[in-house]
Structure formats: C-alpha cells, structure tokens
Amino acid sequence: MIKLIPASEQHSAKIGDWLQSNYLFSFADYYDPSNVQFGPLRVFNHDRIKGHNGFPQHPHAEMEVVTVVLDGELTHKDNIGNETVLKAGDVQRMTAGTGYTHSETNEKENLAEVLQLWFLPNKRGLAPSYEHMNIDFMDGKYKNKLVPLVTGQKVLENVAYLNSNSTVYYGNVGQGEEIDLKTFKLRKSLVYVLTGELLVNNVEVEAGDQVRLEEQEVVSLHGSAEATFILVDVPATEVNY
C-alpha cells in the first residue's frame, strides 16, 4: 500500500505570531482518529519558530522525542542538568521514560526551523536520558545518500540511539539520481519531502507532501528535481510497548 498525503491536506497550526507548524499526525488541538500514529511514530511536526520565542518548561513521559535542526539554533534546558545549543545539522534524542521536563527556545534573531518526531518506546519505565549529536547531515558530501540520524539499530555508528526499532534518515538526491532503501514487508516507511520533487516508488511527491508505504521490500527515491527529504522506517508495531 502506498498513500500520498499532499501538503494541502495536512494540518497547519499557528500559535500567536511566533510559531508556524505542520502536523503530520494528530497533535495538540488537531485530532483525527484515522491519523493518530504510524507504527510507533506518534508525532511528526515541522516547526518554524521566530526569534526570542519558544516552548517553556513542559513535561513528557514514556516517549522518545527526537529533534532535528534544519536551520537556525535552538537552546535546550532540562531537569536532569543538560543545557545545550542545537544548530543546523544537529540531532537530539530525549528518552522521557518515567518523567522528564525541558524547554526549547530560539534565543537568536533569525527563524529556527526544526523537525520534532515522537516515538513510542520499545520498553516502559526507562530512566530519563539525553543525547545530542552534530551529524552535519546537510553537508554536500552526503549527496545521493541516506544519512541515518537516529536509530534503534546498534550496528549503525555515529548515530543518536533511539529506544525504538526505528530509523530516521535524511536524504539529498540529485535530479535524475536514485537512492534505494531495502526494507521488509513487515515494516512501514514514511517519506516527507523538504525541498524539490521525488518519485517514491513511482508516486510523484512534492515539497511538503508525505507518502506512507506499507508491505514494500524496497523504497525507491528518484529525483524528479534535486530534492531533500526525511525517511522514517518503522516496525508495524513496537514490541514490548
């Protein structure tokens, strides 16, 4: 099964004059019972945060929270002693576990553009923990490659670790070029196009669109034009949750 969801059909939210978000799944005041999660992927938000604004201290529990910075900076502070500045090319993973609070603020003048993804963990009752990595995934050396950003596969190196049998990739494919991801029919994949245009298993996908794939053995990504995208590979259900 391959399902295209155009940008025009996704939920757009605005908070005051400081936050513009696209919600790929039900979140906050947007609820669609047919669009709650995709395997263990529960939240996928594309946020644009104006300068000197952000999210004050707030709690999480029993969730793996991943932040990917596309542009600008975001300052993170939490209740277990971490205070870091996330910059473009950085990836952050928070294991909320038994309880965790944090804040995320854009303390600069320029807009911060970030992705936030939440995953149901593969085990309950984990101790809260935090990881921050500079993967520099937007570097041109990764052209026509899938760059793993966060994963539950311990065989992958230099990647943030996720307590879920899932992997998030960043991709940059040139016009006329192709990247393939081998997967399994028991898994699911979601592709969200950031810029440009792609053929995903022969389905045309444009910037802001998403495509969800099930029961596929290969995800084929062909650049109709030069494109950047996020690919999330997940199990159909998360074991032990």
Residues 6+ apart with CB under 8 A from 135: 89, 90, 91, 147, 149, 158, 159, 160
CA dihedral over 7, 13, 19, 23, signed as positive or negative: negative
Per the annotation, does 58 bind a ligand? Answer: yes
Task: Please say whether the beta carbons of 150 and 168 come within 8 A.
Answer: yes
* Residue 28: DSSP 8-state: T
The DSSP code sequence of 139-194 is: SGGGTTEEEEEEES-TTS-SSEE-SSS-EEEEEEE-TT-EEEEE--TTEEEEEEEE
Query: Dihedral sign, CA of 63, 67, 160, 170?
Result: positive
Residue 214 is assigned to a ligand binding site: no
102 a known binding residue? yes
Any known ligand binding at 132? Answer: no
Residue numbering of the annotated binding site: 58, 60, 102, 104
Residue numbering of the annotated binding site for Fe cation: 58, 60, 102, 104
